[in-house]
Structure 1
Amino acid sequence: MQRAIRIAAAATRRALSSSAARASPPPPRGPLAPGWGATRWLCSGREALSYDVVIVGAGPAGLAAAIRLKQLCRAADTDLSVCVLEKGSEVGAHVLSGNVFEPRALDELIPKWRQEDSPIRVPVSSDKFWLLTKNQAWTLPSPFDNKGNYVISLSQLVRWMATKAEELGVEVYPGFAASEILYDENQIVTGVATNDVGIAKDGTKRETFQPGVELRASDFENTGRITLLAEGCRGSLSEKIIRNHKLRERGQGQHQTYALGIKEVWEIEEGKHNPGSVIHTVGWPLDTKTYGGSFLYHLDDRQLAIGLVVALNYRNPFLSPYDEFQKFKQHPAVRKLLEGGTAIQYGARTLNEGGFQSIPYPIFPGGAIIGCSAGFLNVPKIKGTHTAMKSGMLAAEATFKSLVEGSSMELYWENLKKSWIWEELHKARNYRPAFEYGLIPGMVLSALERYIFKGKSPYTLKHGRPDHEATDTANLHAPIQYPKPDGHITFDVPTSLYRSNTNHEHDQPPHLRLRDPTVPERVNVALYAAPESRYCPARVYEYISDEKGDPKLHINAQNCLHCKACDIKDPKQNIEWTVPEGGGGPGYTVM
């Protein structure tokens, strides 16, 4: 019902706009038709809304692009119709990050944000770096420079950004999952379509059936408009575009590598709370061959963000990132912070770690890829929000020139290479691959990069094997025995899932699909001891015994946190992550 109301409201606004246009003389038109959309029902039975620019994803990159487009329109006294689609039930519901926020891009986008009621309130007050052993925390010189940065909730920041976008005239539609790329007869992207809702598991239409909607970045004569993909890390449409157009090969050439971040937000005791305190750690509980680390960030209101990041090129198939996080909380230096407190939210999300070497060529016919869909995370900084926002702004500027002045979207790529994003990621390019050799060699090489070469080393290290190929067979490792959760500091997965507010319509086609249904039992169980039952931080994948007593994979798709770990880590790349009905998934509020 809410979906129908939102679409009806959108159609009404578009119709009123069209009526107003018919009632008055048309404005002067350049090489584009900016700001004048229409609504049409297509022979497919789907409603279609036409916009000048369609943006998929209401994260920092997508909203920064939308805001910048409207700012440029105001400055030029013209208009472009811009919409932003968001698959979460509300803006921010699917957004999770550390997050120590560097305001560089926001200073450029909204220079007076400090004078406004933004959710950026807690400046970094201290910055510590620990090397953990099982019972000790050794303080090392911090490799981070967080002066002038802030401890924030990214889900709260994007909600604030969405209000800024709407004030400028951007139409933001949460609860709509873009599931299909639309092409014209020349294979130029003309927009996206949302999935049908109200389809039962067996494929039949339920009483609540509503067809998907086409959001066309074109008029109905398919004259040029732009689609920007800002889906975040491992976006499903973005990955298809990257593969189909060989964008990685046309970019920096190396595959992307990923990590899984698992996070909780706690309310801790007043005497233990130190607003703005930032602590990063390396070492225990991860072994020396597994790249990763943890963080503890003190926000306001006695809140503490705590998390563990594990690189997904880990070798041991018995490793469980979720259980490693629970172990981390038992460290004496960490447990004493949490005792007496209350866990209030849980979530997980993958992040790009490929950096400079993995940047794809971000332009395709009819649009561009921005933000973490392209992969602009600065790994040694552990920051990607500022670079994601800046990429959205650069793409917006190229989009505006393309539509208003008739220039090429190639300008986005050219300006990206001239920007501080490129400079920053180039300097940081060797940190992540240095740890292919283990923790100690990685720290030594990273110290050389930071203090000796200062990002100007004469070489560029390559990434190792893709993450799914890095998993060893089970016979090379012993099973890991994880302690049972105590229910106070450590928790079982169902308890954590409850805190993520995750919800999906149960009776819908599965959005987690097996390319070959025989692979789980034939390959994953036989060779890798069922790693999907451990790498997933929501226990979506579990093996149950069939009538013969043999293990059979059961997929609990309703548990899915949309983290994308399965899409990345499955040894045979047999799991395809597709979008469920819009509005499903986690419901983050402070992540």
Structure 2
Amino acid sequence: MSDAIEREAMEYDVVIVGAGPAGLSAAIRLKQLDADLSVVVLEKGSEVGAHILSGAVLDPVGLDALIPDWKDKGAPVNVPVTSDSFFVLGEGGRVRVPNAAMPPLMSNHGNYVVSMGNVCRWMAEQAEELGVEVFPGMSCSEIVWDGDRMKGVVAGEFGRNSDGTPGPSYEPGMELHGKYVMLAEGVRGSLSKQVIARHNLDAESDVQKYGLGMKEIWEIDPAKHQPGKVVHTMGWPLGKNAGGGSFIYHIDNNQVYVGFVVHLNYKNPYVFPYMEFQRFKHHPMVAELLEGGKRVAYGARAITEGGWQSLPKTAFPGGVLLGCAAGMVNVPRIKGNHNAMLSGKAAAEAAHDAIKAGREGDVLDEYDTEVRSGPIGKDLKRVRNVKPLWSNYGLAASLTVGGASMWLNNLTGWSPFTSKHGKSDAEATEEASKHTPIDYPRPDGKLSFDRLTNVAFSFTNHEESQPAHLTLKDPAIPVAVNLPKYAGPSTRYCPAGVYEFVGEGADTRFQINFQNCVHCKTCDIKDPSQNIVWTVPQGGDGPNYPNM
């Protein structure tokens, strides 16, 4: 479309897509290094933080490196972890894993329970004070290429009709060009996917793996509230159906974050991740905590879980991949924000040096080297066997062999092997005929809720007259293939109720309720036919998370 539309262009030294911890760290570091650099951050959410969803227990190592005096500057990082426990759940009971049995890297001592949405809001303020231009509500819908070099992006296009044609209030947006472009879109970013494919950045890496993380914020009885308490669980209710686990973090203001992660490599297409989350809250340990409380927010987001062996090349002509756009989550620690910040800092330093040397639009190989050999690589490499062992051999193998691998790495800095992940999460889905439907309890409206009720607590909104940002490569596949072969798994793997089959027999049709979408990207990842493509809606649309 951009070839046929004339747009104004603005020139910057560095263009950053995404105002998450990675993008904002890059912006801040660039201005720390050279106040005269022109830096812009483009964020698709209605405000900074609106689309940020994370656990989160924050390892402050990234913040320490970027803004050493963050405490004095009023960072919303003020609930230190006070207790740290890990349980394996059965349906009615639990077994605690002793802290002494856990590798030291799993300890949360010195970390903080935070709202990453609020941390990013604060980081945006720091960036703006340094002179960074931060523009929320600006979806980046296209890449501007100069040959194979990423020259910039198209941002701020509004007002297309549902059929894609320009409407009466159409605004074509602008081209924002940079000497370097940094993609900090988070998991499965639409521009990042294009760049990875065009430059074959994943040619030498293992397949990427993902999880679906769902989270509710609850206000609970003050008598039960323990600020800084951190609890993780594995086991029930997932059992052999899927890998995953939960987190319960006590933040301030009598609130707790209740979260649940389902690994998306599950075989049984009848698995319903959202309902597994709702069932989890009925475990006696969780139900007792939440009884008498109220849920105040809900959201969902995919998580990159491939780790060290799945990292693509992070530098390409004219730009770099930051944070979860490349996949820097340490799965056993359930942490990635610190690595996102470190990646932004490293990319900024590489870009600054290149610009200072008169280089423009080349490949910042020094950044890729730093990602792999510096603290990010060391953090990911020492846990690299936990996820693939879990995926291929189950929870017991992950806990024993994966745990032993982490201990060996901790003691010697070395591990003798690197496990492979195997199939992609889409390919892992088996035909429905090999499995039995799962009977999930109906939500009770007190501890557990139906999807559409919960989506209302994500404060999601999309302008209905715009083109759907969820598209099908082949419109026939959902009814012709996915329904008869896989029992229509999109009606279950989506945590927001976007997809449904309407009608019966020859009249069956596939309906996309894109207005419900919380931008988790699960459909783009898990669809067994790889037929669904997630793209950005117009700027400002989507969830409006208050303090996720």
TM bucket, shorter chain: over 0.9
Give the conservation status (yes or no) of the 8 Å contact 2:521–2:534: yes
Give the conservation status (yes or no) of the 8 Å contact 1:176–1:583: yes
Output one character per residue of 1:384-425: Cα deviation in whole Å (capped at 9) or x when no partner: 000011011100000001111235622112222331111111
In the alignment, which residue of structure 2 is the partner of 1:443? 399
Output one character per residue of 1:93-141: Cα deviation in whole Å (capped at 9) or x when no partner: 0000000000001001000011222110100000000100000021112
Q: Taking structure 1 as reference, are residues 273 and 365 closer, same or farther at Cα in structure 2, changes over 3 Å only?
A: same
Q: Work out which of the residue numbers 186, 189, 205 in structure 2 matches 1:235.
A: 189
Q: Work out which of the residue numbers 368, 372, 386 in structure 2 matches 1:413.
A: 368
Give the conservation status (yes or no) of the 8 Å contact 2:268–2:430: yes
Between the aligned partners of 1:451 and 1:135, the Cα distance in structure 2 is 31
SS at match of 2:16: strand
Alignment of 1:257-406 (within 5 A): 257-288=209-240, 290-406=242-358
In the alignment, which residue of structure 1 is the partner of 2:469? 511
Give the conservation status (yes or no) of the 8 Å contact 1:289–1:437: no
Give the conservation status (yes or no) of the 8 Å contact 2:469–2:514: yes
In the alignment, which residue of structure 2 is the partner of 1:59? 20
Between the aligned partners of 1:173 and 1:195, the Cα distance in structure 2 is 10
Give the counterpart letter for 1:514 in structure 2: L
Per mean C-alpha deviation after superposition, the further-off stretch among 559-568 and 457-466 is 457-466
Give the counterpart letter for 1:69 in structure 2: L
SS at match of 1:52: strand
1:481 Cα deviation from its structure 2 partner: 1.1
1:43 Cα deviation from its structure 2 partner: 8.6
Output one character per residue of 1:300-333: Cα deviation in whole Å (capped at 9) or x when no partner: 0001000110000011100111000000001010
Task: Name the TM-score, length of structure 2 as normaliser.
Answer: 0.96
Give the conservation status (yes or no) of the 8 Å contact 1:228–1:370: yes
In the alignment, which residue of structure 1 is the partner of 2:32? 71
SS at match of 2:275: helix
SS at match of 1:249: coil
SS at match of 1:53: strand
Instruction: Could you tell me which runs of 5 or more consecutive residues in structure 1 were left unpaired when the two chains were aligned.
Output: 1-40, 218-224
Between the aligned partners of 2:414 and 2:294, the Cα distance in structure 1 is 45
SS at match of 1:80: coil
Give the conservation status (yes or no) of the 8 Å contact 2:241–2:268: no
Alignment of 1:217-228 (within 5 A): 217=178, 225-228=179-182
Give the counterpart letter for 1:574 in structure 2: N
Give the counterpart letter for 2:407 in structure 1: Y
Between the aligned partners of 1:176 and 1:462, the Cα distance in structure 2 is 38
Between the aligned partners of 1:149 and 1:159, the Cα distance in structure 2 is 20
Identity over aligned residues, as a percent? 51
In the alignment, which residue of structure 1 is the partner of 2:133? 171
Is 1:572 matched with 2:533?
Answer: no
Count of residues paired in the alignment: 536
1:195 Cα deviation from its structure 2 partner: 5.5
Give the conservation status (yes or no) of the 8 Å contact 2:382–2:409: no
Give the conservation status (yes or no) of the 8 Å contact 1:42–1:48: no
SS at match of 1:504: coil
Give the counterpart letter for 2:493 in structure 1: Y
Between the aligned partners of 1:195 and 1:518, the Cα distance in structure 2 is 32
1:587 Cα deviation from its structure 2 partner: 0.3
SS at match of 2:34: helix
1:453 Cα deviation from its structure 2 partner: 4.7
Between the aligned partners of 2:42 and 2:156, the Cα distance in structure 1 is 12
Q: Work out which of the residue numbers 455, 465, 482 in structure 1 matches 2:423.
A: 465
SS at match of 2:536: coil
Output one character per residue of 1:442-471: Cα deviation in whole Å (capped at 9) or x when no partner: 211122113345362211100021000001
In the alignment, which residue of structure 2 is the partner of 1:534? 492
Is 1:152 matched with 2:114?
Answer: yes
SS at match of 1:51: strand
Is 1:559 matched with 2:516?
Answer: yes
Q: Work out which of the residue numbers 500, 522, 545 in structure 2 matches 1:588.
A: 545
Q: Work out which of the residue numbers 409, 413, 422 in structure 1 matches 2:377.
A: 422
Q: Work out which of the residue numbers 178, 203, 214 in structure 1 matches 2:175.
A: 214
Is 1:433 matched with 2:388?
Answer: yes
Alignment of 1:7-22 (within 5 A): none
Give the conservation status (yes or no) of the 8 Å contact 1:289–1:439: no
Give the conservation status (yes or no) of the 8 Å contact 1:51–1:215: yes
1:549 Cα deviation from its structure 2 partner: 5.6
Is 1:106 matched with 2:63?
Answer: yes
Give the conservation status (yes or no) of the 8 Å contact 1:257–1:466: yes
1:440 Cα deviation from its structure 2 partner: 1.4
Q: Taking structure 1 as reference, are residues 446 and 553 closer, same or farther at Cα in structure 2, changes over 3 Å only?
A: same
Q: Work out which of the residue numbers 91, 97, 100 in structure 2 matches 1:140.
A: 97
Give the conservation status (yes or no) of the 8 Å contact 1:290–1:439: no
Between the aligned partners of 1:542 and 1:267, the Cα distance in structure 2 is 32
1:558 Cα deviation from its structure 2 partner: 0.5
Per mean C-alpha deviation after superposition, the further-off stretch among 446-455 and 432-441 is 446-455
Q: Work out which of the residue numbers 185, 203, 209 in structure 2 matches 1:249.
A: 203
Give the counterpart letter for 1:277 in structure 2: K
Between the aligned partners of 1:203 and 1:229, the Cα distance in structure 2 is 25
SS at match of 2:518: coil
1:203 Cα deviation from its structure 2 partner: 3.1
Between the aligned partners of 1:451 and 1:324, the Cα distance in structure 2 is 31
Give the conservation status (yes or no) of the 8 Å contact 2:241–2:271: no
Give the counterpart letter for 1:374 in structure 2: A
Output one character per residue of 1:273-296: Cα deviation in whole Å (capped at 9) or x when no partner: 000000000000002352101000
Output one character per residue of 1:43-67: Cα deviation in whole Å (capped at 9) or x when no partner: 9332221111000000000000000
Q: Taking structure 1 as reference, are residues 409 and 450 closer, same or farther at Cα in structure 2, changes over 3 Å only?
A: closer
Give the counterpart letter for 2:232 in structure 1: H
In the alignment, which residue of structure 1 is the partner of 2:163? 202
1:168 Cα deviation from its structure 2 partner: 0.3
Taking only aligned residues, the RMSD between alpha carbons, in angstroms, comes to 1.5
Give the conservation status (yes or no) of the 8 Å contact 1:55–1:62: yes
Q: Taking structure 1 as reference, are residues 174 and 195 closer, same or farther at Cα in structure 2, changes over 3 Å only?
A: closer
Higher-Rg member (1/2): 1
SS at match of 1:193: strand
Is 1:83 matched with 2:40?
Answer: yes
Task: Name the TM-score, length of structure 1 as normaliser.
Answer: 0.89
